[in-house]
Structure 1
């Protein structure tokens, strides 16, 4: 069960588990360009899902993974997914000095949220979660936070990536 400030919320989509093949997705990199899982083929992927980049925990989560990105090397891509508009994501990155994490938007049709089981039905946002995928897009680590306002286990997520290097 998932909650927002202790109140139950409904997550739409499958419950993905370690060992599952990661579903493909179509996310907006900006208003004119979309990307899919294949655009990051051959790389280890840490997918950090946040409800909205303009909130404290989401801000901290994205900044933390931006710091970690420089230590993980070129074989790793860190993607931050939210339902924020690409304009808001670009503005936030510029203001925050975030340049190692790729921010992608699920705003058009919540394709990612539905495919990864993190779409919050009540809000049309994606639930805070971490997915680590190996170079062949097999899921090796999953953390879907039970409470939307809590931080993920940063150390465990980074360790899961390091095990794949």
Structure 2
């Protein structure tokens, strides 16, 4: 598992470096390649700056060998409701986040659960106004995937890139 994670990290770094050298667009403003552990009933989140005015884009791939999970990309005002939910409060709404980027991880042929932007984690335009919160969810928020009361901690690997296009 650790060898595979290291190889994936090296490959992703080389791809990002190569894309920058080849002029495939924009300035990377956030780059995450990280193993995360998410307790049952909670979520791992990363705040992201607004890139909508500059023609920004996002790409992500989140994987786990444990079980299915949800990924959400929330605008700041939507994230407030999610945060209330995972803190045990009863929010008045449970927004889906930006639907194009909010997904349930599905099992691949290799038995790994994956949620990603289109075409296996390719960049997609991000036109919605930010700031944003990227979330790997391991709760019953919106019941995208059902988690029982005695679920184990989720171990996942997140590759996330947010690009600002200054051309």
Using the size of structure 2 for normalisation, the TM-score is: 0.31
Please identify which structure carries the higher strand content: 2
Please identify which structure carries the higher helix content: 1
Using CA pairs below 8 Å that are at least 6 residues apart, which structure has the higher relative contact order?
2
* Greater C-alpha radius of gyration: 2
